[in-house]
């Protein structure tokens, strides 16, 4: 008994005194943190390398980059008025003030250089990947397995669309805030003190996620799944504590529905019936699951499989059976572990509002929809690997070999997929290759890309194919008419413009372009009629003012012509040709003094064009200022304009 008492007294140490056992413990902690840092740096560097091709990509104006960035006047300023507009307006049927604000900041510094926009997207993706790792660690995954799962998330090719497409900044920002809110909520559950701080910060980040993309409304449901995973009790209290989250979700969700309705983007029982859309939703759910394992046939657009009323492919009718079997398998695990149910619930609850049961887009699937939901699947992957380590240790080398091959497959796929998003030609050629003659939009978008590149020879066949698939696309009909107009095929252009007006009588551009045809035909009365109709609908169409000015000039209505040219210059102030047209109009009507100011303006914009000096010389001559007339004549001759020696001699 004495010996035992002596042993006890020997073990005691004064408070604060280190023991031999405590030193290795601190060393072990340092080693763990060192290994964690090394692993984080490793998978982030690998992820960055896989996405390098996006840094040389252009904007995709034919796929929303025009509305959100390239042509968006809202992001041209950081004034209080502009910022207010970002928070009180919608773009393309979406309410995304924080992404717009980020675009405005980039535009302020770099203008429309696409590189900084792509760099920001890539950095946000790296931040998402890091947050996924931190969440997996907080869900009690081992270090190595959390890092492996986070790397799968980072390099998975289904994530490319959100990163390579600048418009999908909203996807990245909402994911960052969504993951941040989720992580802080887990800290709130695990904390023993200052819990309200974590809860409050989680709520703040949720608000920021909602201001980034409406799909963040799913977070309160996901938080309930987290409660289930951590075996929290008192469900009435658990649901009640999330009242602020649910209220915010409801407010933003209802507002989002109104926005979609206001722009005609929400389609309920339109084009496809609700029962057909349910099959589309279940099929897409199945596809997202399968693409996590085997990410093939990725596309910027997934066209619908046919027209409403037609029999769907068999795979669509088999999809509910697949989901039911999978759900039953998950249910069977519930008695043994909560991990499988949690991973499945996370995936389902975070993607359910994006299954397009109520259509709100041009396709029924999109790679970008998995940005948040795949966290549930990578958790299952990491958890599954850890279970194999614990229960089948002999399989461990084989397991890591499979992981290595799978990771390399994902990396290569992501690197190649990034190249597809280089520009409008590469993107839409990829869609056309995968879904030939299935949908008009890819041909239309590639045709518009070629048109913007001034390659009408390539644009015309694509626009023809698009119109073959959709004869009622007024925008593409109008663009084809413009190509015919440029090529001098006025009769073909005339037919397309009249078809546009049959589709939509109040198409301002169609009316204006038809007026331009009449100007070329010298049918000025008809030209003025259609151009006036165009400007009554839209006063921002500068070319309609210019064309009507030409028509008025042809009718001898000089004042009306000059007035329209001046209206044009309000919209296009640096067009020296129109300044010159006003100067010539004044000159032709004998108002030489008034012509000089407009000649001066044309020359200030384009000082190396000799004709402008020659015409101004004639006004100076008429005003009796031979010295200035001679100086302009000599300058015109010096710049290559043919000026007769007799004219110059008459000025000496």
Model pLDDT, residue 23: 42
Domains and CATH numbers, the chain: 33-420 (no CATH), 428-589 (1.25.40.10), 590-652 (1.25.40.10)
**83/80 Cα distance (integer angstroms):** 5
Digit-coded pLDDT (tens) for 513-542: 999 999 999 999 999 999 999 999 999 999
Confidence bin at 18 (pLDDT 50/70/90):
very low
**173/184 Cα distance (integer angstroms):** 17
Across 137-146, 308-317, 433-442, 573-582, least confident range:
308-317
**59/68 Cα distance (integer angstroms):** 11
Confidence bin at 361 (pLDDT 50/70/90):
low
Model pLDDT, residue 28: 52
Given a contact cutoff of 8 angstroms between Cβ atoms, the answer to whether 75 and 107 are in contact is yes
For 280, which DSSP code? H
351-374: average pLDDT = 82
Digit-coded pLDDT (tens) for 332-347: 999 899 999 999 999 9
Across 35-49, 207-221, 245-259, least confident range:
245-259
Question: How far is it between the farthest Cα atoms of the chain?
Answer: 135
Confidence bin at 235 (pLDDT 50/70/90):
confident
**324/192 Cα distance (integer angstroms):** 40
**φ and ψ of 235, to 5 deg:** -65, -30
Task: Tell me: pLDDT of 47 over 70.
Answer: yes
Q: What percent of the chain has pLDDT over 90?
A: 73
Given a contact cutoff of 8 angstroms between Cβ atoms, the answer to whether 626 and 651 are in contact is yes
Written as six digits, the tokens of 422 are 């280089």
Digit-coded pLDDT (tens) for 473-514: 999 999 999 999 999 999 999 999 999 999 989 999 999 999
Model pLDDT, residue 89: 86
Written as six digits, the tokens of 259 are 């926005």
Model pLDDT, residue 91: 87
- Determine the 3-state secondary structure of 543 from DSSP: helix
Task: Tell me: pLDDT of 628 over 80.
Answer: yes
Model pLDDT, residue 98: 96
Confidence bin at 11 (pLDDT 50/70/90):
very low
Across 98-107, 178-187, 628-637, least confident range:
628-637
Model pLDDT, residue 31: 55
418-426: average pLDDT = 96
Model pLDDT, residue 331: 93
Model pLDDT, residue 335: 87
Task: Tell me: pLDDT of 16 over 50.
Answer: no
**Within a 10 A sphere around the Cβ of 541, how many other Cβ atoms?**
20
Model pLDDT, residue 160: 96
Confidence bin at 53 (pLDDT 50/70/90):
very high
114-138: average pLDDT = 97
| DSSP per-residue string spanning 441-495 | HHHHHHHHHHHHTT-HHHHHHHHHHHHHH-TT-HHHHHHHHHHHHHTT-HHHHHH
Instruction: Report pTM.
Output: 0.84
Model pLDDT, residue 303: 87
Confidence bin at 90 (pLDDT 50/70/90):
confident
Task: Report how far Cα 358 is from the mean position of its chain's Cα atoms.
Answer: 21
**102/142 Cα distance (integer angstroms):** 36
Model pLDDT, residue 4: 43
Model pLDDT, residue 10: 41
- 492 CB burial (10 A radius; 0-12, 13-18, 19+): middle
91-114: average pLDDT = 92
Task: Tell me: pLDDT of 581 over 70.
Answer: yes
Model pLDDT, residue 431: 94
Model pLDDT, residue 408: 96
Model pLDDT, residue 509: 93
Among 26, 117, 13, 27, residue whose Cα is nearest residue 75: 117
**φ and ψ of 522, to 5 deg:** 60, 25
Model pLDDT, residue 211: 95
Average pLDDT of the chain, as a whole number: 89
Confidence bin at 223 (pLDDT 50/70/90):
very high
Sign of CA dihedral 138, 144, 145, 150: positive
Model pLDDT, residue 22: 42
Across 17-26, 530-539, 551-560, 596-605, least confident range:
17-26
Task: Tell me: pLDDT of 629 over 80.
Answer: yes
Confidence bin at 310 (pLDDT 50/70/90):
confident
Task: Tell me: pLDDT of 6 over 60.
Answer: no
For residue 234, give every residue at least 6 positions away whose Cβ sits within 8 Å of its Cβ, in sequence order, or none. Answer: none
């Amino acid at each position: 008994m004495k010996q035992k008492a002596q042993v006890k007294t020997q073990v005691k140490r004064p408070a604060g005194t280190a023991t031999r056992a405590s030193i290795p413990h601190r060393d072990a902690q340092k080693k763990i943190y060192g290994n964690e840092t090394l692993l984080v740096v490793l998978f982030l560097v690998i992820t960055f390398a896989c996405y390098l091709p996006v840094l040389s990509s252009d904007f995709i104006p034919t796929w929303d980059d025009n509305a959100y960035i390239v042509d968006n006047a809202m992001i041209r300023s950081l004034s209080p008025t502009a910022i207010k507009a970002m928070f009180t307006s919608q773009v393309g049927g979406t309410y995304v003030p924080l992404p717009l604000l980020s675009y405005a900041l980039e535009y302020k510094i770099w203008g429309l250089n696409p590189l900084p926009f792509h760099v920001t997207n890539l950095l946000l993706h790296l931040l998402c990947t890091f947050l996924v790792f931190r969440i997996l660690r907080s869900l009690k995954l081992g270090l190595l397995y959390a890092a492996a799962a986070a790397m799968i998330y980072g390099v998975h090719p289904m994530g490319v669309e959100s990163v390579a497409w600048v418009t999908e900044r909203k996807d990245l920002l909402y994911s960052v805030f969504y993951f941040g809110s989720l992580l802080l909520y887990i800290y709130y559950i695990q904390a023993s003190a200052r819990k309200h701080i974590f809860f409050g910060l989680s709520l703040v980040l949720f608000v920021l996620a909602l201001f980034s993309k409406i799909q963040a409304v799913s977070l309160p449901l996901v938080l309930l799944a987290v409660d289930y995973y951590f075996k929290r009790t008192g469900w009435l209290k658990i649901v009640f504590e999330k009242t602020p989250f649910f209220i915010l979700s409801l407010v933003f969700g209802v507002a989002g529905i109104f926005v979609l309705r206001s722009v005609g983007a929400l389609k309920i029982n339109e084009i496809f019936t609700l029962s057909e859309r349910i099959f589309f939703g279940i099929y897409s759910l199945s596809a997202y699951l399968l693409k996590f394992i085997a990410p093939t046939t990725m596309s910027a657009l997934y066209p619908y499989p046919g027209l409403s009323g037609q029999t769907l492919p068999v795979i669509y009718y088999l999809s509910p059976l697949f989901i039911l079997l999978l759900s039953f398998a998950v249910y069977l695990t519930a008695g043994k572990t909560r991990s499988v149910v949690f991973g499945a619930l996370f995936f389902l609850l975070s993607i359910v509002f994006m299954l397009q049961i109520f259509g709100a887009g041009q396709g029924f699937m999109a790679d970008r929809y998995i940005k948040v939901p795949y966290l549930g699947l990578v958790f299952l992957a990491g958890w599954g690997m850890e279970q194999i380590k614990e229960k089948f240790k002999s399989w461990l080398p084989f397991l890591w070999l499979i992981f290595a091959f799978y990771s390399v497959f994902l990396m290569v796929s992501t690197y190649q997929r990034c190249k597809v998003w280089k520009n409008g030609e590469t993107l839409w050629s990829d869609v056309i290759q995968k879904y030939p003659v299935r949908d008009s939009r890819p041909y239309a978008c590639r045709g518009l890309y070629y048109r913007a590149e001034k390659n009408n020879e390539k644009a015309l066949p694509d626009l023809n194919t698009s119109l073959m698939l959709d004869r009622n696309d007024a925008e593409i009909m109008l663009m084809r008419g413009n190509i015919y107009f440029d090529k001098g095929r006025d009769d073909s252009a005339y037919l397309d413009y009249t078809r546009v007006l049959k589709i939509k009588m109040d198409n301002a551009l169609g009316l204006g372009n038809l007026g331009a045809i009449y100007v070329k035909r010298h049918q000025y009365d008809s030209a003025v009629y259609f151009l006036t109709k165009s400007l009554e609908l839209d006063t921002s169409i500068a070319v309609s003012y210019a064309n009507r000015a030409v028509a008025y000039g042809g009718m001898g209505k000089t004042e009306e012509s000059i007035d329209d040219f001046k209206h044009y210059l309000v919209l296009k102030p640096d067009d020296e040709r129109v300044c010159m047209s006003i100067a010539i109009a004044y000159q032709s009507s004998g108002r030489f003094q008034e012509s000089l100011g407009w000649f001066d303006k044309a020359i200030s914009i384009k000082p190396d064009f000799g004709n402008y000096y020659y015409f101004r010389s004639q006004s100076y001559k008429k005003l009796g200022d031979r010295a200035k007339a001679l100086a302009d004549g000599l300058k015109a001759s010096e710049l290559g304009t043919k000026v007769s020696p007799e004219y110059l001699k008459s000025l000496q």
